[in-house]
Amino acid sequence: MIILQDMAAYEETCRREQAVIMQFGSEQCGPCAAIQHRIDAWCRNHACSARYIDIEACPDIAAQHDILSVPAVIVYVQGHETLRQAGYFSLDDMLARTAQYLELAGLEENENGTDGTE
């Protein structure tokens, strides 16, 4: 997972990537490390990229996005925030919802092997 260290990189990534999961975490947070690896692996199999922001190294990015606890995840699809989870949440549910958003945006095939268009 690529680590972002400034607001310019964060904003550029949101503009450039069709779909991106931004994970906010801390080195002191055990769950942050665990979900970081799962998100990274999930993205390798989906039309989505992942970035990591350490809130201790980049408190300005966290503050500007109202991140008050970690782990926190913001999903952007086509430049728009589509999903936000923080604290205690089901990663499986969050990833399933992200897959649905990717499918609705036409970025990923559905379970039938089609892109959803007829």
Q: What is the CATH number of the domain that holds 39?
A: 3.40.30.10
What pLDDT score does 111 carry? 55
Exposed/middle/buried for residue 80 (C-beta within 10 Å: 0-12, 13-18, 19+)? exposed
Q: Whole domain around residue 67: which residue ranges? A: 2-104
Q: Mean pLDDT across the stretch 85-109?
A: 93
What pLDDT score does 34 carry? 92
Q: How many domains does the chain have?
A: 1
Is 82 inside a domain boundary?
yes
Is 41 inside a domain boundary?
yes
Strand order in the sheet with 72-77: 2-3, 49-54, 19-25, 72-77, 80-86
Is 69 inside a domain boundary?
yes
Is 114 inside a domain boundary?
no
State yes or no: pLDDT of 116 exceeds 60: no
- State the Cα–Cα distance between residues 43 and 12, nearest whole angstrom: 19
Is 99 inside a domain boundary?
yes
State yes or no: pLDDT of 13 exceeds 70: yes
pLDDT category at 112 given cuts 50, 70, 90 is: very low
Q: Mean pLDDT across the stretch 83-95?
A: 96
What pLDDT score does 90 carry? 95
Q: Give residue-wise pLDDT tens across range 20-76.
A: 999 999 999 999 999 999 999 999 999 999 999 999 999 999 999 999 999 999 999
Is residue 44 left, alpha or beta, with left meaning phi > 0 and alpha meaning psi from -120 to 50? alpha
What pLDDT score does 86 carry? 95
Is 74 inside a domain boundary?
yes
